[in-house]
Amino acid sequence: MGALPIFVASIIALSVSIFTSTLNTKQAYSGFSESFILLIVVAFLVSRAVVKSGLGKRVAMHLISRFGKSTIGLGYSMFTTDMLIAAAFPSNTARSGVLYPIVNSLAHDSGSKISDGTRKKMGAYLMMNSMAGLGISSALWLTAMASNPIGAQIANDFGIEITFDSWFLASVVPSLVAFIVIPRLLYIIYPPEIKETPQAPIMAKETLKKMGKMSKNEWITAITFITMVVFWSLSSILFIDKTAIAFAGLSVLMVSKIFTIEDLKGQGEALNTLIWFSVLYTFSTYLNKFGFMNFIGDHIANSLYGMPWQMVYVILVVSYVLIHYLFVSQTAQMLALYSVFLSVAITSKVPADLIAFMLLFATNFNSVITPQGSSANVIFISSEYMKPTEIYKVGGILTLTNTIIFLTIGTAWMMFLGYG
């Protein structure tokens, strides 16, 4: 019998916690009033408009038409597309829904298919590359992954302020280095059989020709998207609530009928997210308030007692990455362990801002360590272009590479910024 879906497990746990008086009703439902969870839900709805309007596909086709003459060029094109749209997609799973149809079409049109045993001509490389890219793009933007603002809220409880712009500034250098390195490394360790793709730019241009000029809906979506990103980045300066910005963007899209009430009825994932995120955040908060996290943290801290903070820092980050083998959800791991690791690090004199950022980045760049390491992996794995054993091997190498990049270049960059 398989494991319960996280939504079902959450509502069962919430009911049990109330019936057993572990939490009173005010405590149990407190997570539903958190504005950052509403931000995640609203951004889910905004992301639907990006897909529906065709803006996401247009961006990808433009990139492919310019840089898609080779397989590695296509890989970088999909990577770039993901990183550009990630700021308005608080879900790597949602972005996989934009990228996968394009990657799948590119593979098929280039003669790389599952049915005739030609998956490694191009499809396997492009699928693995796009899957790996989701972890990097999620680390680049505060709003690119649902767990990011939750982690920022937890860090705030420790007196660490993480804003949209401070997150981007801290992550931009290691993320861009990973952006440069990962497709090239993958090209070496998991090479496509087809190296040149002269037909891809032609296909992209034909697709753009069929799409015609940018429609009114695409223009409105693009302007709304850019405006939301700008105001998110300036929210701490202008004292504007990020969730209010998201609601304002959604209202523009709904008034413009780009996102409609009918669209809303089909967004069960948003309600799913609202409920289980709220429940898990509540449990994480009260496990900490009731002392459980401190109990676990004390045991970890005792084993690291007396070590230089630099060694503690490395051990905690590497351990956090490796522990993801045991989790099927990046968010679940962050909620279960982030505050514990952060508490231990601060107790061991590790610079608080440095470890707070690094653990949150690790929550994202460890996504391909296993096939089940992220829900975003599912759609790419279901294509059957990649074997699970290949993902364990190749994904492990990519995760190790990400860890090295972020621990070396990322740490040096953040210390330069004054976080060390």
Q: pLDDT, tens digit, for every residue of 34-58?
A: 777 787 778 777 777 877 888 877 8
Residue written as token pair 């038409």? 65
For residue 197 the two structure tokens come to 């793709």
pLDDT at 232: 76
Taking 90 as the threshold, does the pLDDT of residue 202 lie above it? no
Q: For 21, left (φ over 0), alpha (ψ -120 to 50), or beta?
A: left
| Helix 164-189 / helix 216-238 crossing angle, nearest 10 deg | 120
Question: How many CB atoms sit inside 10 A of residue 387's CB?
Answer: 14
pLDDT tens string 246-262? 899 999 999 999 988 88
User: Is the Cβ–Cβ distance between 179 and 130 less than 8 Å?
Assistant: no
Core vs surface per residue 48-80: b (16+ CB within 10 A) or e? bbbbbbbbbbbbbbebbbebbbbbbbbbbbbbb
Mean pLDDT for the stretch of residues 207-236:
86
Q: Which residue bears the tokens 């049915």?
A: 115
pLDDT value at 217 more than 80: yes
Predicted confidence at residue 236, as pLDDT, reads 67
Strand partners, 70: 196
In this predicted structure, the answer to whether residue 81 has a pLDDT above a threshold of 60 is yes
Give the pTM. 0.75
Between 122-126, 221-225, 300-304, the lowest mean confidence (pLDDT) is in 300-304
